[in-house]
Structure 1
Amino acid sequence: MKKASLKTIAERMKNLDFRMMVTQDGQQVSYSRPMSNNGKVEYDGDSWFFTYEDGHKVDQIKKNQHVNLIYQTDDMLFIECTGNGEILKDKNMLKEKWVEGLDQWFPEGIDTPGICLIKVRASRVRFWHKEEEGEYIA
């Protein structure tokens, strides 16, 4: 697969908000769910997601940090991001990543009990788009 720069990957991802997040439990069983990065689509190698700390995905990441993020568009662009997930509860980071509209799920804003961030740092990102493909390795 042809090598790609982070800039090339970021350009392809700039309008992508929703993706499937795949995590594994302690027994290597995979779980997928749709996730949004809440409109923050300027990709720099890290993906950020708001969630609640008592959710299954948080438990799974604590047991196994390996996370896959999978994107698809209508014009046949496919992206797979492989990396490690980390759970963060830092108020400053929550404030920095907060965007309007999140209060639909987190009614007390960054002070909502149990709110946290999942940070996925990419170790490898691959894309396929029609006749083109590329891979970025961090």
Structure 2
Amino acid sequence: MRNAAKTIGGIIDKSGVSVIGSVDQEGFPNAKAMLKPRKRVGIKEIYFSTNTSSMRVSQFRENPKSCLYFFDRRFFRGVMLRGTMEVLTGQEVKKEIWQEGDEMYYPEGVTDPDYCVLKFKAQDGRYYSNFESEDFLID
């Protein structure tokens, strides 16, 4: 794929919804819609905020295999990224990802024990556009 990072980064940035996949205790895939990422480093690292007490966090702690899906409704194209999800609870990364208004979800603020950061590290992906799909690796 030519200029994958730019094309896929654009889809991620414009997508209002992120779909996150995890694996449950029985080995079944689980998917959940979330808000757009809080931060990304190219298409290799993507960060989200979530509740430490959530089912998804428990699943990632047990099995870090994950996928993300982003789509562009207007041009009917999308990208799935596969990789691993890490649960981060350090204050430095929590402060970095924190946004005004997060108090609505985490009443105790940035130090709320129910606030954590998910860090996704992509290894490969699949891009769909113009009725064609293409697999790609991420360095």
TM tier, smaller = 0.7 to 0.9
Tell me the distance in 2 between the aligned counterparts of 1:111 and 1:41: 19
Give the superposed CA RMSD. Answer: 2.1
Distance in 1, matches of 2:56 and 2:5, equals 27
Q: TM-score, normalised by structure 2?
A: 0.84
Q: Which amino acid aligns with 2:99?
A: V
Moved more, 2-11 or 77-86: 2-11
Percent identity between matched residues is 21
- Which residue in the other structure is 1:121 paired with? 121
What is the aligned partner in structure 1 of residue 81 from structure 2?
Answer: 81
Aligned ranges 1:1-138 → 2 under 5 Å: 2=1, 4-37=3-36, 40=38, 42-44=40-42, 45-75=44-74, 76-131=76-131, 133-138=133-138
Q: What is the letter of the counterpart of residue 79 of structure 1?
A: V
Preserved contact between residue 10 and residue 43 of structure 1 (Cα < 8 Å): no
Q: Secondary structure at the match of 2:14?
A: coil
- The normalised TM-score by structure 1 is 0.84
Paired residue type of 2:61: K
Aligned partners of 1:46 and 1:120 also within 8 Å = yes
Residue segments in structure 1 that go unaligned for 5+ positions in a row: none
Give the Cα separation in 1 of the matches to 2:10 and 2:71: 15
The separation in 1 between residues aligned to 2:72 and 2:93, in whole angstroms, is 30
Query: How far did residue 95 of structure 1 move?
Result: 0.4
Aligned length: 136
* Contact 1:65-1:84 at 8 Å conserved across structures: yes
Spell out structure 1 runs of 4+ moving beyond 3 A: 2-5, 40-43, 131-136
User: Measured at CA, do residues 78 and 5 of structure 1 come closer, stay the same or move farther in structure 2, by a change above 3 Å?
Assistant: closer
- Post-superposition CA distance 1:22-76 (Å, at most 9, x none): 10023211211111135x3655221111112221101111111111111222220
